[in-house]
Amino acid sequence: MNNISSLSINQHRFLILLIILSLFIGPGLFTASAATGSGSPRVFLNGNKLDFEVSPIIENSRTMVPLRSIFEAMGADVYWDDTSRVVTASKGAITVILPVDSSTAIVNGNPYYLDVPSKIVNNRTLAPLRFVGEAFGGRVSWNDTTKTIHIDNASVDKPAEVKVNVNRVNIRNGPSTLTAIIDCAGAGEIFEVLAEQDGWFQVSRGGRTGWLAAWLVAAGSEEDTPEPEPQPQERIVVLDAGHGGLDPGACGKILKEKDVNLEITRRVGELLKQQGITAVFTRTDDIFLSLEERSKIANRLNAGLFVSIHNNASELSSVSGIETYFYAPASNPDLFAQRGERAKLANAIQTELVSALLSNNRGVKEKNLSVLRNTLMPSALVEVAFISNPTEEALLQDQDFIDRAASGIANGIIVFMND
């Protein structure tokens, strides 16, 4: 009887101890379970919930998500090199290379720096959410109330043309915000759409293709979205640096025309912008542009003026001086209607440039040149100096001469616009 009572008392003590322990241990177990299970962020791709073998985690205040699962759900091909511990993923125009435990990824050959390095968890590669979501064109948003991640990279309808509807938009070398910027476009510029991928449009600019984000442009054309007639102080001046890329233009003993043209053109643009005039360049670096594309850039912008900047050459090294061209023949009614303005623009540039450089005045001439024939607005082509002349080639290497040449051209444009 005594033994039975003792056992009963011990059992009660053990039960009481379990109850007390559960008050301390139980809540901790529940919290840990919530943190590793239902407490993990949920990920939705184009409205569909994604399920993972390894749940997203928080690392140094950054959400880390399973890379392969999301990349493959976005349509990318993913490869793992166990020897080098490198993930390679590709889709369309984008290739991503990510070494594990590295803070640097390579996107289309350009480095992209991660907030926190990628890592392996249970044999799965985890990487920062924004990088994973945006690498192949997605837009990432976070709902703090529901603790959900939304990635949107759904394709959209491909229009024939798009029009930039923000002040400035980047043109990238792939359909993703992580790819390199190769150019930019301004409000109102219209592009023919070559292809669509994941909410991005492929377009052509400056002789090479690039990608515009669909949410920064609107479908349309010059016919259904006409530009208002620009006022003189609001006119866009398109500046065209002659030649470029595979086309060097005239060559002296030291200089290539394409390089000098670009340097002068950039400086002209700076001077015009200082006067509140919008200057747009057909090229800003050493790329090839067809003559037709140069005219199209100005026409698409509904620009007020087009000025092409060149340097001259002759078989005779003694030939020197400045000359400016326009084109408005009676055989072309549209151009002939602008004859007075075209001639006036050429004369204004020639006069101001000769005054700035004190060089030989070879006069204003009329010539059937592609960029003058195909532009819809008043246009002129100026030859600043003869690169084949040793004295003038030496001057073209002098920064003061370059600055005065740019000032003369800019002043000619301003005189014309103020007249």
Are 411 and 294 within one domain?
yes
> What is the reported pLDDT for 175?
87
Are 273 and 374 within one domain?
yes
Least confident of 12-16, 76-80, 229-233, 301-305: 229-233
Are 251 and 315 within one domain?
yes
Are 264 and 190 within one domain?
no
Relative to beta strand 181-186, strand 190-192 is unpaired
Are 282 and 409 within one domain?
yes
The CATH number that applies at residue 386 is 3.40.630.40
Judged against a pLDDT cut of 90, whether residue 214 lies above it is answered with: no
Least confident of 29-38, 275-284, 291-300: 29-38
> What is the reported pLDDT for 180?
81
The one-letter code for the residue type at 379 is S
> What is the reported pLDDT for 367?
95
Cα 315 to the center of its chain, rounded Å = 41
- From the list 191, 272, 247, the residue with the least C-alpha distance to 370 is 247
- Is residue 5 in a domain? no
Non-local (6+) Cβ contacts of 203 within 8 A are 162, 171, 191, 192, 193, 194, 209, 210, 211, 212
Are 214 and 253 within one domain?
no
Domain residues for the domain of 131 are: 42-152
Percent of the chain with pLDDT over 90: 33
* Residue that finishes a domain, picked among 107, 135, 152: 152
Query: Three-state SS string across 70-84, please?
Result: HHHHCCCEEEEECCC
Q: What is the DSSP letter of 187?
A: T
Are 171 and 84 within one domain?
no
Stretch 317-323: mean pLDDT, rounded? 95
Q: How many domains does the chain have?
A: 3
Tell me the pLDDT tens digit for each residue of 267-283.
Answer: 999 999 888 888 889 89
> What is the reported pLDDT for 199?
83
- Is residue 147 in a domain? yes
Least confident of 93-107, 145-159, 341-355, 363-377: 145-159
- Is residue 26 in a domain? no
Judged against a pLDDT cut of 90, whether residue 99 lies above it is answered with: no
Going from the C-alpha of 15 to that of each of 21, 24, 209, the distances in angstroms are: 10, 15, 76
- Is residue 15 in a domain? no
Are 79 and 181 within one domain?
no
Beta-bridge mates of residue 129:
none
Task: Identify the residue with better confidence: 265 or 44.
Answer: 265
Phi, psi of 118 (to 5 degrees): -65, 160
Tell me the pLDDT tens digit for each residue of 55-67.
Answer: 888 777 778 888 8
Non-local (6+) Cβ contacts of 192 within 8 A are 160, 161, 203, 204
The CATH number that applies at residue 90 is 3.30.457.10
**Average pLDDT for the chain:** 82
Residue 341 CB neighbours (<10 A): 17
Are 243 and 116 within one domain?
no
> What is the reported pLDDT for 223?
46
> What is the reported pLDDT for 20?
47
Q: Quick one: pLDDT band at residue 233, thresholds 50, 70, 90? A: very low
Confidence (pTM): 0.49
Cα 402 to the center of its chain, rounded Å = 29
The CATH number that applies at residue 172 is 2.30.30.40
Stretch 89-95: mean pLDDT, rounded? 86
Q: Quick one: pLDDT band at residue 28, thresholds 50, 70, 90? A: very low
Are 148 and 166 within one domain?
no
* Helices assigned H by DSSP within 37-147: 67-73, 129-134
- Is residue 23 in a domain? no
- Is residue 30 in a domain? no
* Helices assigned H by DSSP within 220-338: 257-274, 291-301, 333-336
Residue 173 to residue 178: CA distance in whole angstroms:
10
* Residue that finishes a domain, picked among 196, 219, 242: 219
Q: Quick one: pLDDT band at residue 388, thresholds 50, 70, 90? A: very high
Tell me the pLDDT tens digit for each residue of 248-268.
Answer: 988 989 999 999 999 999 999
Stretch 398-410: mean pLDDT, rounded? 96
Judged against a pLDDT cut of 70, whether residue 14 lies above it is answered with: no
Q: Quick one: pLDDT band at residue 218, thresholds 50, 70, 90? A: confident
Task: Identify the residue with better confidence: 221 or 176.
Answer: 176
Stretch 219-248: mean pLDDT, rounded? 66
> What is the reported pLDDT for 219?
77
